[in-house]
């Protein structure tokens, strides 16, 4: 969803459940997308990336889905753990070497 100022969208999930974090990107010409995880007081940590010639890519416990028709990206986390609690950002490569970041989604994992 949309985020305004400090009010980032928040997803709360029970430990062990699957999480799905969504992102709408802006530029139909973007050809590369990345998901980052940011814990409090730390820099963003690379999770997984995908190029525009793919619609799905899997990593360890994570899957990224890309729907270019509706300019939508999602990150699926399997068997969510307390250590997954963080802010998650999607980013798109619009042109050159510039990554444009979304506003972020807070993931809270309840034990």
Partner 1 sequence: GAGVSQSPSNKVTEKGKDVELRCDPISGHTALYWYRQSLGQGLEFLIYFQGNSAPDKSGLPSDRFSAERTGGSVSTLTIQRTQQEDSAVYLCASSLGDLPNSPLHFGNGTRLTVT
User: For residue 62, what are its two tokens?
Assistant: 């994570």
DSSP tag of 84: G
To partner 1, the closest distance from the beta carbon of 107 in angstroms equals 15
Q: Given the complex with partner 1, which of 40 and 111 has the nearer CB atom?
A: 40
Strand, coil or helix: 83: helix
**Shortest spacing between CB 75 and partner 1, in angstroms:** 15
DSSP letter for 18, please: -
Kindly tell me which of 18 and 26 has the beta carbon lying closer to partner 1. Answer: 26
Nearer to partner 1, 34 or 77 (CB): 34
Pairing status of strand 10-14 against strand 105-110: parallel
Q: What minimum distance in Å lies between the beta carbon of 109 and partner 1? A: 20
């Amino acid at each position: 969803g949309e985020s305004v100022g400090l009010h980032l969208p928040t997803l709360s999930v029970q430990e062990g459940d699957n999480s799905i974090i969504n992102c709408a990107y802006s530029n139909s010409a973007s050809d590369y997308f990345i998901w980052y995880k940011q814990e409090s007081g730390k820099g963003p940590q690379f999770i997984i990336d995908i190029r525009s010639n793919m619609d799905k890519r899997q990593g360890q416990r994570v899957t990224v889905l890309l729907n270019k028709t509706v300019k939508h990206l999602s990150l699926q986390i399997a068997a969510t753990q307390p250590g997954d609690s963080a802010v998650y950002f999607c980013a798109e490569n619009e042109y050159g070497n510039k990554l444009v970041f979304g506003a972020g989604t807070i993931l809270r994992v309840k034990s």
